[in-house]
Amino acid sequence: MTLSSSSYDVLLVGGGVMGCATAYYLLKADPRLNVALIEMDATFARASTPLSDGNTRLQFNIPENIAMSQYGLEVLQTFADDMAVDGDRPDPAFRQQGNLFIIDEDSREGALEGLAQQQRLGCAVEWLTPEQVQEKYPIYNLKDCVGGTFGRLDGTMSPLAVLLGYKKKAQAMGAHWIDGKVTQLLTEAGRVTGVQLASGETLTAPVVVNTAGAWAAELARTAGIDLPVLPIKRQVTVFETPVHFEHVLPLLFLPSGLYVIHEGGKHFMAARSFDDDPITTEDFEWHRHHFEDLIWEELVSYIPVFDRLKITGGWAGLYEVNPFDGNAILGEWPELKGFYLENGYSGHGFQQCHAVGRYITELILGQTPTLDLSIFSPQRILDNQPVFENKRKII
């Protein structure tokens, strides 16, 4: 048997939103590039992007995280036109319902620091007193609340529509789509030279980008790189309430990290991370009792009308958690030339795909980055210099 080998300028391992957005930005910057996306499951059944909640927020503490979301909002304004292919305009169905964070005494300092950064950068985020929150949203029971931060431009959209928008556009611009699993990064004298697929086929390229999401560490390990990215299961439960809400409520974040998203009318979804959430790439089972036993009581304590509700379903997906500091890992791995990382978003990566796609493109092409994201450089891991959002918390 003869196994074939093909050459590219850039190989993107993983065709989720990161891979597809980066392919788009690469070809936008230089249409002559020979770019390929390699994806082990073109149905995206387990990919995090379609299993995400599709939320974007300006409410971060690190200025670069805020700036990435600001750029994302800019992109969304013309996304349908920019991604149009043969007259097909992908609709991200962006619902700017606002995000409301309930702040308790413990989270007050970090929230105020974040708010100051956001306002300094011109973000539409405001502080609400408990009375103001209560007046706007009488259904909440604001126990232990010292205030709220409300970002009216934050919102939720269809992550699949964004992924497919980038994918179709990148393909229309010339990106190759290769169905296959990368089983080995190929290296020579401290440089990446390509990848090997499960089929045995090899693809060569001077640049390989790790866009493998929750599988990022598994991929890096094939070149002996120990990347701090863990696949962690996150369950989301969908339910209906007996009350039909006329106006869409903001996404509500509670101090514990529990959040509830109003989809409109009587439709909601809720989720929360726990310290003992399983590390897995195999367990995608959603359990109704996860919500009933661990989430419902806390939810009712803040929203008493939720004491009666009908669970209609749910799903589980993978967070790509960076246990080192909970932030993205972006850039060339210092010990392997040509191997670029777009990993470790720890649950807030979907909204960063636009800024990351543009940034990694600029790094690969040797251009000055429009938005300097070097704070998230992989070098910080080797230097043991974590960058936390606030209070050393991973959110």
Ligand X SMILES: Cc1cc2nc3c(=O)[nH]c(=O)nc-3n(C[C@H](O)[C@H](O)[C@H](O)COP(=O)(O)OP(=O)(O)OC[C@H]3O[C@@H](n4cnc5c(N)ncnc54)[C@H](O)[C@@H]3O)c2cc1C
Footprint of ligand X (CB under 6 A)? 13-19, 38-41, 44, 47-49, 51-55, 181-182, 211-215, 219, 234, 236, 317-320, 345, 347-351
Minimal distance, residue 304 CB to ligand X, in Å: 26
Cβ-based nearer residue to ligand X, 49 or 118: 49
Strand order in the sheet with 5-7: 5-7, 202-204, 191-197, 182-188
Q: Of 136 and 181, which CB lies nearer to ligand X in the complex structure?
A: 181
Q: CB 19 → ligand X: shortest distance, Å? A: 6
- C-alpha atoms less than 13 angstroms from C-alpha of 378 in its C-beta half-sphere: 22
Task: Give percent helix, percent strand, percent coil of the chain, each to the nearest 5.
Answer: 30, 30, 40
Minimum separation from the CB atom of position 106 to ligand X (A): 23
Residue whose CB is less far from ligand X, 41 or 131: 41
DSSP secondary structure letters along 314-325:
EEEEEEEE-TTT
Asked if residues 98 and 150 have their Cβ atoms less than 8 Å apart, the reply is: yes
Shortest Cβ 316–ligand X spacing (Å):
7
Instruction: Kindly tell me which of 109 and 179 has the beta carbon lying closer to ligand X.
Output: 179
Closest CB to ligand X among residues 63, 304? 63
207: left (phi over 0), alpha (psi -120 to 50) or beta: beta
Pairing of strands 202-204, 251-253: unpaired
Q: Are 154 and 100 in contact (CB under 8 A)?
A: no
The two tokens of residue 172 are 């229309």
Q: How far is the CB of 131 from ligand X (least distance, A)?
A: 29
Question: Taking the complex as a whole, how short is the minimal distance between the CB of residue 32 and ligand X, in angstroms?
Answer: 25
Cα–Cα distance between 183 and 176 in angstroms, integer?
19
Q: Is 369 exposed, middle or buried (0-12, 13-18, 19+ CB in 10 A)?
A: middle
Biggest alpha carbon–alpha carbon distance for the chain = 74
**CA–CA dist 267, 282 (Å, integer):** 29
**From the CB of 175, what's the least distance to ligand X, in Å?**
14
Cβ 58 to ligand X shortest distance, Å: 12
Nearer to ligand X, 134 or 183 (CB): 183
Nearer Cβ to ligand X, position 56 or 149? 56
| CA 241 – CA 246 distance, rounded (Å) | 13
> Is 102 or 356 the residue whose CB approaches ligand X more closely?
356
